[in-house]
Amino acid sequence: MKQDLIYFLPELIVSITVLFLFLLDCFIGKRSRRIFPVIAFIGIAAMMLANKSSSPLPSARFFSDMMVFDHVSVLFKYIFGLAGLIAIVIANGSHELEKVDKANYFTLLTALVLGMMLLANAHHFLMIYLSLEMVSLLSYILTGSLQGSRRSSEASLKYVIYGGVASGIMAYGISILYGLTGSMTLTGVAEFLRMNAVSKTALYTSVLMIMAGFGFKVASVPFHMWCPDVYEGAPTPFTAFLSVGPKAAGFAVLLRFFFGALSQTTTSGIEPIKIIGLPALLGGLSIATMTLGNLAALQQKSMKRLLAYSSIAHAGYMLLALVALNAEAVTGVIFYLSVYLLMNLGAFLVLIIVGDQLGSEDISVFQGLSKRGPFAALLSIVMTVFMFSLTGIPPMAGFIGKFYLFGSVIKSGHYTLAVIGMLNSVVSLYYYIRVVKIMYFDEPVDGRNLTTPMVSHASTVFALALLTIYLGLFWNGLANIVGQAKLF
């Protein structure tokens, strides 16, 4: 039990932070609300330190096989922690969240990080279900946190209804899988499937149904419908977090499900369970997801909706790597998620800085941004970096991310899929570059200049841009760390 708690230390720290913040809310007055983001920040930073000290431990399963500890879980905890820290910095001082109760917002955000950590390390279907529900519930609440805003409430309600249906279907799928294999743990399912023959149709049905829950979290077709409306209605600082955090958690659990329950590791590598056409299913899903995301993004007028469809497209790219189902795919997905975290949060932060001052979230607000004073000129360069990186143009980090993703697909021999993925990147070039174009070649609609925002916002956005370029030039360090990560 003591050993179990050592593995659980990062989660424990975040849980204590959350409970402490809840209690603090009861005792502290309205004046000193500023302390909440500080404590949440310290809690998550402490989690990352504990995570660092636990990284040399060997892989293990703990709490009677409920959870798993391995290097992939360590990496995902870093990703969630970083996303949480940046989300706190972004939310602190945003104009949009001025009227929101800060105490609750930051506490629930920290709880969301906890839910994502549990989801990424779950080894038992009960844990997967519970932590998925925790992530979803908190996402609904934070989406609707703009009180009195019709859009925000509507987005939250849509999210709840979609989420309820998706998790219901997933729970049914899990029950079928349990009925088939008699096991609730991921590796237990794999063990049973290796030894025994089961009804192919029933297994296929259950996997499809479970995919409903996971697909909903990563916003893949056909469970993407909530994404644009929720992204648009939610307060932008939370949208930024929603587009990277819960999505990364969704991919973590997808990796565990496909590599843990539906494949087996042999001496020659990882092999998917033969009886179901997993590559065909995932390949179809991923092509549909990226194509729909990219085509729909072409005609968006709102920047938030554009980034929503772009996040659907990026989910499609990452699903592509899952088709490959090899060790490179794990590396590819985790590397891409870390890069995507930097560039997408960066793009959202630029939108928040510009939107807060000019009072709109349409793409037209970027018209002639480079001519709105010295800070705006600098911000335009930063935005260009993020847009190029999201497209996947060298020397930005997005290019290296796509390189690893498509590399794993090519290595597994699915050349057609890789070509479709690259063609999709070309399509995405149009709408990303259009933002850059209107920033530099259009004239501003009015004479307002951008003033320098808060130091924390400005420094974060520049740091994210620098990291995006840095990882595009010197990716070896990160790639080595990610490449050594082993699942289970």
Partner 1 sequence: MQLAFFYFFSGLSILSALFVIFFRNTLSAAIALVVTLFGVACLFGLLEAHFLAAMQVLVYAGAVMVLFLFVIMLMNLGREELLKIKLAFLGIIGVITGVCLAILLVTRFMGLSAPLLSLDLGVEYGTVKSVGKLLFGEYLIPFELTSILLLVAIIGAITLARKPQS
Residue 283 structure tokens: 């390949």
Closer of 74 and 108 to partner 1 (Cβ): 108
The span from the CA of 11 to the CA of 13, in Å, is: 5
Q: Which of 5, 16, 49, 202 binds partner 1 (CB under 8 A)?
A: 202
| Amino acid identity at 393 | I
In the complex, least distance from residue 91 CB atom to partner 1, rounded to whole angstroms: 15
In the complex, least distance from residue 360 CB atom to partner 1, rounded to whole angstroms: 23
* Binding status of residue 40 toward partner 1 by CB under 8 A: no
* Binding status of residue 449 toward partner 1 by CB under 8 A: no
**What dihedral angle (degrees, nearest 10) is formed by the CA atoms of 30, 31, 33, 39?**
-130
The span from the CA of 373 to the CA of 186, in Å, is: 56
Among the residue ranges 107-115, 211-219, 352-360, 406-414, the one whose residues contact partner 1 (CB under 8 A)? 107-115
Q: Which of 40, 75, 91, 108 binds partner 1 (CB under 8 A)?
A: 108
In the complex, least distance from residue 250 CB atom to partner 1, rounded to whole angstroms: 18
Closer of 144 and 444 to partner 1 (Cβ): 144
In the complex, least distance from residue 368 CB atom to partner 1, rounded to whole angstroms: 36
Among the residue ranges 105-113, 217-225, 365-373, 426-434, the one whose residues contact partner 1 (CB under 8 A)? 105-113
Asked if residues 121 and 73 have their Cβ atoms less than 8 Å apart, the reply is: yes
The span from the CA of 110 to the CA of 43, in Å, is: 8
Helix axes 200-218, 303-324, angle to 10 degrees: 150
Per-residue x/- track, 130-149, partner 1 (CB under 8 A):
xx-xx--xx-xx--xx-xx-
* Binding status of residue 63 toward partner 1 by CB under 8 A: yes
- Where b means 16+ CB within 10 Å and e means fewer, 164-196 reads eebbebbbbbbebbbebbebbbbbbbbebbeee
Q: Which of 38, 126, 275, 280 binds partner 1 (CB under 8 A)?
A: 126
* Binding status of residue 124 toward partner 1 by CB under 8 A: yes
Closer of 137 and 270 to partner 1 (Cβ): 137
Closer of 153 and 452 to partner 1 (Cβ): 153
Among the residue ranges 194-202, 212-220, 369-377, 423-431, the one whose residues contact partner 1 (CB under 8 A)? 194-202
Q: Which of 164, 179, 277, 374 binds partner 1 (CB under 8 A)?
A: 179
Closer of 202 and 275 to partner 1 (Cβ): 202
Kindly identify the residues of this chain, within the stretch 387-426, that bind partner 1 according to CB under 8 A: none
In the complex, least distance from residue 409 CB atom to partner 1, rounded to whole angstroms: 31
- Where b means 16+ CB within 10 Å and e means fewer, 140-153 reads bbbbbbbeebeebb
* Binding status of residue 156 toward partner 1 by CB under 8 A: yes
Kindly identify the residues of this chain, within the stretch 215-254, that bind partner 1 according to CB under 8 A: none
Q: Which of 97, 180, 409, 439 binds partner 1 (CB under 8 A)?
A: 180
* Binding status of residue 176 toward partner 1 by CB under 8 A: yes
* Binding status of residue 56 toward partner 1 by CB under 8 A: no
* Binding status of residue 211 toward partner 1 by CB under 8 A: no
Among the residue ranges 124-132, 240-248, 279-287, 373-381, the one whose residues contact partner 1 (CB under 8 A)? 124-132
* Binding status of residue 29 toward partner 1 by CB under 8 A: no
SS (H, E, C) the chain: CHHHHHHHHHHHHHHHHHHHHHHHHHHCCCCCCCHHHHHHHHHHHHHHHHHHHHCCCCCEEECCCCEEECHHHHHHHHHHHHHHHHHHHHHCCCCCCCCCCHHHHHHHHHHHHHHHHHHHHECEHHHHHHHHHHHHHHHHHHHCCCCCCHHHHHHHHHHHHHHHHHHHHHHHHHHHHHHHHCCCEHHHHHHHHHHCCCCHHHHHHHHHHHHHHHHHHHCCCCCCCHHHHHHHHCCHHHHHHHHHHHHHHHHHHHHHHHHHHCEEEECCEEEECCCCCHHHHHHHHHHHHHHHHHHHHCCCCEHHHHHHHHHHHHHHHHHHHHHHCCHHHHHHHHHHHHHHHHHHHHHHHHHHHHHHHHCCCEHHHHCCHHHCCHHHHHHHHHHHHHHHHHHCCCCCHHHHHHHHHHHHHHHCCCHHHHHHHHHHHHHHHHHHHHHHHHHHHCCCCCCCCCCCCCHHHHHHHHHHHHHHHHHHHCCHHHHHHHHCCCCC
Closer of 35 and 130 to partner 1 (Cβ): 130
* Binding status of residue 369 toward partner 1 by CB under 8 A: no
In the complex, least distance from residue 457 CB atom to partner 1, rounded to whole angstroms: 24
* Binding status of residue 22 toward partner 1 by CB under 8 A: yes
Among the residue ranges 41-49, 69-77, 175-183, 387-395, the one whose residues contact partner 1 (CB under 8 A)? 175-183
* Binding status of residue 458 toward partner 1 by CB under 8 A: no
In the complex, least distance from residue 414 CB atom to partner 1, rounded to whole angstroms: 29
* Binding status of residue 104 toward partner 1 by CB under 8 A: yes
In the complex, least distance from residue 125 CB atom to partner 1, rounded to whole angstroms: 10
Interface ranges with partner 1 (CB under 8 A): 15, 18, 22, 63-64, 66-67, 99, 101, 104, 107-108, 111, 114, 118, 124, 126-127, 130-131, 133-134, 137-138, 140-141, 144-145, 147-148, 156, 176, 179-180, 182, 199, 201-202, 205
